[in-house]
Structure 1
Amino acid sequence: MGTSLISYFTMVAMLGVPSYGIRACAQVRDNKEKLSKTVQELLIINLIMALISYTAFFLLLWFVPTFREESTLYTICSAAILLNVIGVNWVYQALEEYSYITFVSVLFKALGLALMFLLVRNSGDVLWYGLVTVISSFGSAVFNFIRLRKLVNLHPCRPWNFRRHLYPIFTFFFMSVATTVYTNLDTVMLGVIKDNEVVGYYNAAIKIKTILVTLVTSLGTVLLPRLSYYYEQGKEKEFLSLVSKAFSFVLLFSIPCCIYFSVYARPVVEFLSGPGYLPAVAPMIILMPTIVFIGLSNITGIQVLVPTGKEILVLRSVIFGAVVDFLLNLLLIPSLGASGAAIGTLCAEFAVTLLQFWYLRKLLTSIIQTIEFKELILMIFAGSLVLWGLRGLQLSSLFWQLAVSALLFFGTCVLTLLICRESIVMSVVNKLLKTCEKPR
């Protein structure tokens, strides 16, 4: 409860800087003076917003009895607000310091796990639990801030120009708010219109979808700084090439996942949630195509519209999707329950993707021509044949049934791409071979 409450104050303190900061810093990464000035301006804006957030937070603790009773726990958790601000993770992402980010993240996750075993012994150790959670999730911020002086100049680079950042920052902020409302809308409406049992089925259906979407969309954060840099430098060829590779990656990853988890929805739900959650199978099958739509809209939105300064179009598309989701939920949930919410989500994600494709129709015409659709179709055909051949397979347990079928299906997909010498797969293979080569 404490971390959930603090997350809203953190969102206000950060505004849209985590997303905008990556683009803004990536565009001036080659000029240390401009980079230092940009970092200082954004950090000052964050510190001012953090002060406002803390003021509102402590007023809430003071005036609301429910929160005042747990004021110590909430105060400990509120350290996340300041740590998020001084952590300036967006600077490290903009400069593509991914090795450092991964190292400190793993270090503090391991530290948090060790402290959890040492300090949290029973339900009465809730304060220790809150402290360990903050250290594990945000402790690296201290290291980030100390190390920041190696990347930028920390002495004041006046005159500061805060106004130039305000419009994009607030656009990203409202985009974050709209996305938060939009992604939670189906669950909230299910709870209001139906009951907690139906919400439980729906949550079981979206469990695997959420994991797969996270894997697909993680590519966006990695590519954003490089794409922003290419766009700022006018390197159109490199920009289009990287976007094309991103499209190919999403299609090659998301479509097989969509097919496999649709065909094996029943055993997956039964394995992850138990036989009592079989009503979640239908919603899960309906939701699976959203993996493809979200993957594609993540490219058009985060990897194309954002680096080119058109984030307002992303905001419009998300609002449009939220409206579609709300109207369809209102219409379908009373009669179809969790399946109705799934249909609403599917149509909403399709609407967002379609609208962003319309915004980028001229650009996408040239990109689509570079995608290797023949290899993609052959992969889908070969994988589907394997699933058809496995349709009567019954093993001793659900685990082995899923493990064997997944190994054969995804193995066939990869093998087909290797035989066809698909460019992305071959580039990965070549890099692995170079890594394994012994120096002469």
Structure 2
Amino acid sequence: MNKIISNFMYQLIYQITIIILPIITIPIVSKNLGVEGLGVYNYVSSIVNYFVLFAGLGLANYGIREISIVRNNKKNLSKKFWELELFNIIIAISILFIYILFLILLNDRLFFLISGITLLATLFDISWFYYGIEDFKIISLINFIIKIISFLCILFFIKNTDGLRQELCVNGKNHSVG
């Protein structure tokens, strides 16, 4: 019962964080990027998220179920983890390769390259394992730290649209930003 309460509290803190941080960051990003910058970000993000979706390929749900079945047997747990992780690596690298081919066809490669870090992160995401062994502390803490770092990066790096305006002009677009 104590573990259930502990897991609940960790998830509660994380869920509150992911509700509060956008309330703070959305006005900052909207003001600093302007309409055009926000449009570019949303466009690039939506396309990258399709690749992330394919890279995940349902591993989270399947992985949680499979790990929870063998979580009490250390040998089987290790074997199942590496089977699932090998599957994850093969799929993620394949999708990364397709993404790189996709990048060759684009003009705004820099935006897609930067957003592609999200796709690269799917290689290292083993949250399904921790959900399967019901260790919410590690998942919540890592996700909380990532959210805080992302928040700080937004505060420090998104000051105005000058960098975005310069990148759009370099790529031959004559849109006004901000």
Give the TM-score range, shorter chain: 0.7 to 0.9
- Write out aligned runs for 1:47-126 (5 A): none
With over 3 angstroms needed to count, the CA separation of the structure-2 counterparts of 1:331 and 1:262, relative to structure 1, is: farther
Cα 1:247–1:185 shift into 2, 3 Å: farther
Q: 1:293 aligns with which of 111, 121, 139?
A: 121
Which residue number corresponds to residue 144 of structure 2? 319
SS of the residue 2:155 aligns to: helix
- The equivalent position to 2:60 in structure 1, one of 220, 225, 229, is 220
Question: What whole-Å deviation, never above 9, does each CA across 1:275-327 have from its counterpart, x for those lacking one?
Answer: xxx55x42111121321313422x1x221x23333211211111211121122
SS at match of 1:306: helix
**Which residues of 2 match residues 180-199 of structure 1 at below 5 A?**
189-199=28-38
Write the deviation string for residues 253-290 of structure 1: whole angstroms up to 9, x where unpaired.
2223223323432646xxxxxxxxx55x4211112132
The superposition leaves residues 79-116 of structure 1 with CA deviations (integer Å, 9 ceiling, x where unpaired) of xxxxxxxxxxxxxxxxxxxxxxxxxxxxxxxxxxxxxx
TM-score, structure 2 length as denominator?
0.73
Q: Given the alignment of the two structures, is residue 200 of structure 1 paired with residue 39 of structure 2, yes or no?
A: yes
Q: Structure 1 residues 313, 183: closer, same or farther in 2, change over 3 A?
A: farther
User: Which residue of structure 2 lines up, in the alignment, with residue 169 of structure 1?
Assistant: 8
- Give the percent of matched residue pairs that are identical in Structure 1 and Structure 2: 11
- 8 Å Cα contact 1:179/1:318 also seen in 2: no
Deviations 1:110-148 (A, max 9, x none): xxxxxxxxxxxxxxxxxxxxxxxxxxxxxxxxxxxxxxx
What's the secondary structure of 1:296's corresponding residue? coil
Q: TM-score, normalised by structure 1?
A: 0.33
Q: Give the equivalent residue in structure 2 for 1:91.
A: none
Deviation readout 1:48-80 (Å, 9 max, x if unpaired): xxxxxxxxxxxxxxxxxxxxxxxxxxxxxxxxx
Aligned equivalent of 1:254, options 89, 92, 112: 92
Aligned to 2:102: 264
How far did 1:169 drift?
Answer: 2.2
Whether 1:284 and 2:109 are equivalent positions in the alignment is no
Aligned mates of 2:19, 2:84 — CA distance in 1: 25
User: CA–CA distance in 2 between the matches of 1:216 and 1:184?
Assistant: 29
More relative contact order, 1 or 2 (CA 8 Å, 6+ apart) = 2
Aligned residues: CA RMSD: 3.0
The residue that corresponds to 2:80 in the other structure is 242
Q: Which has the larger radius of gyration?
A: 1
Unaligned runs of 5+ in 2: 166-178
Query: 2:25·2:154 contact (CA, 8 Å) conserved in 1?
Result: yes
For 1:243 and 1:183, the matched residues in 2 are separated by 33
Displacement of 1:167: 2.7
Pick closer, same or farther for the CA change 1:209–1:187 going to 2, 3 Å: farther
Aligned pair count reads: 162
Structure 1 position 178, deviation (Å):
3.5
Aligned residues of 1:227 and 1:242 also touching (Cα < 8 A): yes
Contact 1:191 1:199 in 2 (8 A): yes
User: Unaligned regions of 5+ residues in structure 1, if any?
Assistant: 1-160, 269-277, 339-440
